[in-house]
Amino acid sequence: GEYPGDYGWDTAGLAADPTTFAAYREAELIHARWAMLGTLGCLTPELLAKYAGVQFGEPVWFKAGAQIFSEGGLDYLGSSNLVHAQSILAILACQVVLMGAVEAYRVNGGPLGEDLDLLHPGEAFDPLGLADDPDTFAELKVKEIKNGRLAMFSMFGYYVQAIVTGEGPVENWASHIADPFAVNGLTSAYVTQFAPSPVAMFAASGRKAAELSAWYGPDRNKWLGPFSERSTPAYLTGEYPGDYGWDTAGLGADPTTLERYREAELIHARWAMLGTLGCLTPELLAKYAGVQFGEPVWFKAGAQIFSEGGLDYLGSSNLVHAQSILAILACQVVLMGAVEAYRANQAGPAGEGLDLLHPGEA
């Protein structure tokens, strides 16, 4: 109960060490303050543009920054008399310097901050005297962390809304208020080009070319939506599924490298899908169906091999009874290597002349 907002919940034991706990609390509070500023910054331009007629160039928060890629660059608050940004690297450098200077001042102190609390300095940083009364100060600290936690969740909600709906939070709210039953989080039709539509994902095989053009070719959906034109590299042509035109690091500039990365991504994705299923299934069956697996929790299951009796696959000694981790490793390398060699070299009667990643047929 020493820290404001301490409700006694730490099931993961993240704060068992006092030094770590203090560091986490500092990080939480700083992030909470930035999140409160962020939520206000996301809402204010859109509210003013929608209800007060104020022009900001682009009031929606996740679209505003993309204007820097447009021909004229980005005017802060829609005015060229303020900051006229044309280089995202220059903006990044300014942010790093300014924010780093503020944070360094806070941590290391300065003329106004010597011997003050790092998180709640007060004095010159409290011109309204809100913290003069100890009881009021204690209450304000609780309110700050509670509102900050809410703001961090709100920012996460803004991200999800932007991806799913392609609209800002104010427009989402206005649409929901206008028709709560037709526009809500459970409305599957409320999806735009920023994320795959459930209808498109599970549509029948006889889809029209117009539907496929949303995922392939030059008119496909892109990572910045309508602002993607100048940010999409020429070598990303929409040939591969899932190509949204994003490669700021230029990792796919070489066609051979791009093809190799795509192959590695897809193979890892398939293993990851199998892995998530393998992590969930034993624990679900043990918890809700009473099936016994020895140890159903995925990150604990493998450790049974170091126990006296070794590891029984699926909890049965009639299946693989593993007692040597080196033998298991050798078997995995041989079996997985053989499968991968068969796939990559088309070295079998069922794989000759087929696509390496999407063979089909047998």
Q: How do strand 321-322 and strand 74-75 relate by DSSP bridges? A: unpaired
- pLDDT tens digits, one per residue of 56-102: 778 888 888 877 777 777 777 667 777 777 778 888 888 899 988 88
Q: How do strand 84-85 and strand 74-75 relate by DSSP bridges? A: antiparallel
Q: Which backbone phi and psi does 276 adopt, to 5 degrees?
A: -65, -40
**Which two three-digit tokens encode residue 58?**
């682009």
Whether 311 shows a pLDDT value over 70: the answer reads: yes
- pLDDT tens digits, one per residue of 170-220: 998 998 899 888 777 766 444 444 444 333 333 333 444 556 777 888 888
pTM, whole model, 2 decimals? 0.50
Are 305 and 328 in contact by the 8 Å Cβ rule? The answer is yes
User: Amino acid letter at 235?
Assistant: Y
Angle between helix 169-178 and helix 134-165 axes, rounded to 10 deg: 80
| pLDDT value, residue 202 | 34
Residue 359 CA: distances (Å) to CA of 267, 271, 352, 362: 13, 17, 9, 8
| pLDDT value, residue 269 | 94
Residue from 148, 151, 176 nearest 164 by CA: 176
Are 154 and 39 in contact by the 8 Å Cβ rule? The answer is yes
* 84: β partners: 75
Sort residue 5 into left (φ over 0), alpha (ψ -120 to 50) or beta: left
